[in-house]
Amino acid sequence: MTKTTRVLGASLGVLALTVSLAACGGDSLEKSKEGGGAAPAADGKGGLVIGAAGFTESNVLAELYAQVLRDAGYTTSVKTVNNRELYEPSLEKGEIDVVPEYAATLAEFLNAKVNGPKAPEEKPVASSDVAATVAGLEKLAAPLGLKVLPAGAAVDQNAFAVTKEFAAKNNLKSLSDLGKSGLQVKIAAGDECAVRPFCGPGLTKTYGIQVSGIDPKGVGTPQAKQAVKDGVDQLVLTTTTDATLDSFGLVLLEDDKKLQNADNVLPVVNAKDAGAPEVAAALDKLTRVLTTADLVDLNRKVDAERAKPADVAKAYLEAKGLLKK
């Protein structure tokens, strides 16, 4: 599964929660082939299963979680479940103990599950305010037996990019700059961009950006980015952790008015099996350090350099001093 599959899921926003953010082919629990499987712990605190959603970033995050928990004395294994509709119930049941998640997306997923499919549209709990979003998520998660741990600065949310040349020529650093420029832009994205509030309509309403049309090349796909590079389109919908922007000569414009929801990375655990303070403390050490730029770099090493998620995770944790010598 590629990162763009998660991006596509993210592009559907809170209005299309019948499909998981991380949906792709798999429908069963299976051990990750990239660094997963049980690894013994020195202190014998017990075993924890870390869930991964099958795309690059989730696989790396799962390995980061597994290794910091292993270092804290737990036996850990990584299992890949490519569909949130499957892995979230598994987390409730304790078949999976810990999952790296995204605050706003999970909040609206649970909102739809608990309050009905129209709830995310009619009464959303997610917003650009991370504290409020996490608070809303906690209220939905607790009755399901889930414990939401603190969110960090790392965020993987929808974002818009232009070519570096286009940005320099028009003095663009933010989406507000683009709106003030009066330039008409065609957006390379999924066709749903024409109606989704985070995309075309939101850009016009929030920033005054003149959208001339949508080029349905997908969300963050190579074809979409190439279209912007070639000047066929001017703006591409991707994510804040897209590791390939440089190779297309693209740069993100700042979402300075906070159009996008707070999809900050955070751990979610089964409260009964993994609710111990020691688990939270181990994961929090990582959460406090991890940044969006770190995610971009980690994704790049896996996707572009073909490194294994387990190796990338280990090198990062060692560099940050998060593993015992």
pLDDT given for residue 27 in this prediction: 32
pLDDT given for residue 180 in this prediction: 98
Confidence of residue 43 (pLDDT cuts 50, 70, 90): low
pLDDT given for residue 40 in this prediction: 44
pLDDT given for residue 206 in this prediction: 97
pLDDT given for residue 203 in this prediction: 98
Confidence of residue 45 (pLDDT cuts 50, 70, 90): confident
The rounded mean pLDDT for the chain is 88
The tokens describing 290, both together, are 């991890």
Q: Could you report the per-residue pLDDT of 94-144, keeping only the tens digit for each?
A: 999 999 999 999 999 999 999 999 999 899 999 999 999 999 999 999 999
Is the pLDDT at 1 greater than 80? The verdict is: no
Element (H, E) at 180: helix 175-181
Residue 297 contacts residue 276 (beta carbons within 8 Å): no
Pairing of strands 158-163, 235-239: antiparallel
Residue 237 contacts residue 151 (beta carbons within 8 Å): no
Is the pLDDT at 34 greater than 60? The verdict is: no
CATH class name, domain 158-253: alpha beta
Is the pLDDT at 50 greater than 70? The verdict is: yes
Share of the chain above pLDDT 90, in %: 81
Do 3-155+262-319 and 158-253 share a fold? yes
pLDDT given for residue 13 in this prediction: 40
Q: Which fold has domain 3-155+262-319?
A: D-Maltodextrin-Binding Protein; domain 2 (3.40.190)
Share of the chain above pLDDT 70, in %: 86
Is the pLDDT at 47 greater than 70? The verdict is: yes
Residue 45 contacts residue 73 (beta carbons within 8 Å): yes
pLDDT given for residue 325 in this prediction: 67
Tell me what the mean pLDDT of segment 185-203 comes to: 94
Q: Where are the alpha helices (DSSP H) in 72-102?
A: 84-93
Beta strands in 22-81, from DSSP E residues, in sequence order: 30-31, 47-52, 75-80
Q: Tell me which of 25-34, 130-139, 142-151 is least confident.
A: 25-34
Is the pLDDT at 48 greater than 50? The verdict is: yes
Structural domain spans, the chain = 3-155+262-319, 158-253
Residue 238 contacts residue 11 (beta carbons within 8 Å): no
Confidence of residue 196 (pLDDT cuts 50, 70, 90): confident
The tokens describing 276, both together, are 């111990």
Q: C-alpha 86: how far from its chain's center?
A: 18
